[in-house]
Amino acid sequence: MSAIGQNTAPATGGDSKHPPLRPGTLYLVATPLGNLEDLTLRAIRTLRECDLVAAEDTRRSGLLLKLLGIEKPLLSYFRFNEARRAEEILGRLRQGQKIALVTDAGSPGISDPGQRVVREAIAAGFRVEPVPGPCALVAALTASGLDTEEFHFIGFLPRKSGRRLRKLESLSTLPCPLVIYESPYRVAKLLGELANVFEARQVVLARELTKKFEEFLRGTPAELLAALASRSIKGEFVVMVAGRSDDEEDDGEPDENEAEQGDDPEARPGGGQTTVEL
Pinpoint the residues of the chain covered by CATH 3.40.1010.10: 3-134
Alpha carbon 67 to its chain centroid, in Å, reads 25
Distance in angstroms (rounded) separating the CA atoms of residues 249 and 203: 18
CB atoms within 10 A of CB 7: 9
The pTM assigned to this predicted structure is 0.81
Per DSSP bridges, beta strands 52-55 and 99-102 are parallel
Per DSSP bridges, beta strands 203-207 and 99-102 are unpaired
Q: What are phi and psi of 191, to 5 degrees?
A: -60, -35
Mean pLDDT, the chain, whole residue set: 86
pLDDT digits 0-9 by tens, 170-206? 999 999 999 999 999 999 999 999 999 999 999 999 9
Would you identify the CATH topology of the domain 3-134? Cobalt-precorrin-4 Transmethylase; domain 1 (3.40.1010)
Please report the pLDDT score of residue 82 as a whole number.
86
**Of 135, 146, 156, 116, which is closest to residue 26 (Cα–Cα)?**
116
Cβ(104)–Cβ(57) under 8 Å?
yes
Can you tell me the mean pLDDT for 41-50?
A: 98
pLDDT digits 0-9 by tens, 245-272? 887 755 545 554 444 444 443 433 333 3
Distance in angstroms (rounded) separating the CA atoms of residues 192 and 243: 18
Residues 6 or more apart whose Cβ sits within 8 Å of residue 264: none
Cβ(65)–Cβ(111) under 8 Å?
no
pLDDT digits 0-9 by tens, 140-163? 999 999 999 999 999 999 999 999
| Bigger pLDDT: 230 vs 167 | 167
Distance in angstroms (rounded) separating the CA atoms of residues 43 and 269: 69
Looking at the chain, the number of H-run helices and the number of E-run strands are: 10, 10
**Of 174, 171, 192, which is closest to residue 182 (Cα–Cα)?**
192
| Helix (H), strand (E) at residue 221 | helix 221-229
Pinpoint the residues of the chain covered by CATH 3.30.950.10: 137-241
Which of the listed CATH numbers 1.10.1740.10, 3.30.950.10, 3.40.640.10, 2.60.40.1180 matches domain 137-241? 3.30.950.10
- Distance separating the N- and C-terminal Cα atoms of the chain: 67
Task: Kindly indicate the confidence band of residue 49, based on its pLDDT and cuts at 50, 70 and 90.
Answer: very high
By CB atoms closer than 10 A (0-12, 13-18, 19+), residue 165 is middle
